[in-house]
Structure 1
Amino acid sequence: MSSLSPTNPSTTALSVRRSRPLTGAIRVDGSKNAALPLIAAAAVTGRTVRVERIPRSTDVQVMLALLQEMGYVLTKPVSSSDGLQPPEADKVDVTAPSHPNHAPDLRAAATIRASYYLVPALLQASGRASMPWPGGCSIGDRGMDQHFKVYEQFGDKVRIREDGYEIRRAAGPVEKVTVDLPFRSRGASVAAVLRAAVADCPLTLRNPNTSPEFSAVLAALGTTGWEVCPGTDLIRLTPPVARPDTPLIWEIPGDKIEAATLACAVAATGGRGRVEGIVEADVGPVVALLRGLGILVESQADAMHVQADPRTFTGRPLRAVASLDPAGLDADFEPPLMALALGMPGAHLFSDAINPGRHGNLLAQFGRLGATIEPLTPTECRLTGPQRLTGATVEATDIRTGSALLIAALTAHGTTMLRGLNQLRRGHADLPAKLRSLGADITEVSR
């Protein structure tokens, strides 16, 4: 299987004009943030796993290409048993290699943040993981110290290099492991669980991440026979007594961040739309904040209906404070909410201490559109709306800044030129096309 190319890769910029109210229904893709750890989890099962609803975003395609380089067999299933139907593009069967590549070329791992999820699979295949430092969005220091401490708890040896890191698997069997995380890191939580799967040993994980993306990994391991006792403060995993021989089919949940972005775009333009393919609980924090602003939101098990009516706007302040607490706001929700708040009455506060460099990206780019946002600290800011924005040339410096700029551009007077689409494509296969289907005036600009 060859990796899929991003949609319209020749497009280098987007011309965005002030939009009429967006209307209609749209379905979100599978979640990039959930797909990456689930694909890595499929690689350590030792069985063929069918992963469904795979998004075509660049980061996910890079992850699949890295698995192929490691020797994994990736095939696209067909929709009928006779094999006459075309392959289903959003489904991939991941099969462990009979002859792993012990010297894979993993240079592409430096282009995505989530490449560190592949360490357990590398340890399983050859006992050694030699990786470049991960890339991804430039949004502040997101070190790997907690990841390394997880592997050391399993007895693995960690060596830091200038150009990357190397982890060597513990020589003997691992009886049981307890990992106590100082904060609820999703990456370190996934590392602990997948490393336990490779060691086939019991794991006690304290202060775990509680995001839906991590919960999806736990649920997936449960289908392989692992006993999972989840909790807010402590999770226990016990290896299978018997391993089910039923086919393993894992479905990636809908992208909650894409759903929030589309909902904010509809609301910002005064429109009315239905966002489908979601998990209601995953978007609950955003729904609550939108309702607090006076935006009418009806949520269902797999969809939400958004309607913006100025007559219902409350003028209440929006407090979007990112947090890793179980009931906290996912940091990736904050940028689209900030773009929406620029047009909403009230004094609004935003905070994201999880990604300390993100506000530097967001505020600078919004400023090009004429936004006035007061930085309180490097990770906190406030603004008062509504504000009048004017089209300008802006840059998608990271995935979420790019999607937030699309929302702001739809409300700005004149034309906005959005560059840096390689960043936007990393997280969304084609967010502009989704917005166009709702009526947005977005034109692709090629070389």
Structure 2
Amino acid sequence: MIDYYEMTRDFWLINLSKQLETPTLVRIDINIPVVDGKIVENSYRLHVYADVLTLLSEYAGIVAVAHQGRKGQDDFIPLKQHWVVLRKLLPTDIDIDFIPFDKVFTEETKNRIRKLRRREVILLDNIRMLDEETSFNPSNSKFIEFFKGVIKSAVNDAIPVWHRPHTSLMALPYIAKTYVGVRSILELKTLKDVLEAKEKGVALIMGGAKLAKVNYLMKILKWAKGYTGGLPGQLLAYVDGHDLNIRNINFLKKKFKEKDFIAAKELVKKFNVKYPKDFVIVENGEKKVVSLDEIGKCNGIIYDIGPETVEWYASETEGMDIRIRAGPLGVFERGFDNGVKLTKMIAGSGLIFLGGDTTAEVSMYGLDKIIANTGGVLCVSGGSFLHGLAGEPYYSIDELIKMQKRN
């Protein structure tokens, strides 16, 4: 395993008044769910990074770089809505401006950056609109050319996207002295805590709408115990021979590829990953709890794990030092909250929530502060956390260490 917590110590942002200079370029991650073109405003990530920007702007003028979605997908939108929410979240004495993408790489913006002062923030538009963002080449990078000589210090605080070798992350040490950000240090410590608890018991409870990268899971499940809900839970139950009724089976076949069905079967057979014993379904407008053995006789659509599964998972994981929730276990947006009930049952020291929709779930039900105040940790990183658990490299951090040791 790669211990990035210790490897990055020399590059931690821990003395802000001495380390930050105006202007400072900060890579953050405010990539959040989008519904019908509108962002989910109560996103945990927006609140976290509003606090990060508030802290950093106390010591330097800040240029914030972030992304939203991927080209060609519905959630690929400008960051103007994010800016509006950040304006509400930041203290009134901090000014935050927004630069649309067609004006980002201009002399006008460069001059605006040069004139930045403390307690001023500029949010640049969705960096994934830049063609070179997904193909880093330092020898002819527009990103490096624009910022080099203007930016005085840089911060990589976008741990949720560290598993991608994207330009806005990789380029930072080519532009100015670069530090690992305060939020990312916290989550690296959480990652280290998990890896050190291997012998004391680690549970990974996986939900959501997709199967996490199987190559990650195969490595993690060699030492962690796996439990599923959401669509992965249905998928594993189906490949293990259970009839989920034609409506749910057809939905699974639309959502997953053939390789996912093959991988799911291996997760059950080789790694003994658990799937739900019962589900909450909606049939003819009525909510029902149905056992796994009976669901094939119904016509209802699955919306949540059932209460027996909640009790079972809680009992199985109660003696484990670490319990990781990764992905919603039901359609929490519509009031299916058995994942929340499970969370309450396994709360306390060692409970870790991974980013994205999982933290949106606890925020919606008001559990975020309760978890944080009772020994749990809410992470903004999701896929990148699993990437680290699997022992995979964080490319931009490797680049940061290499470049700054060379200098």
The TM-score with structure 1 as length reference comes to 0.27
The TM-score with structure 2 as length reference comes to 0.29
Q: Which has the higher contact order (CA 8 A, sep 6+)?
A: 1
Structure number with higher helix proportion: 2
Structure number with higher strand proportion: 1
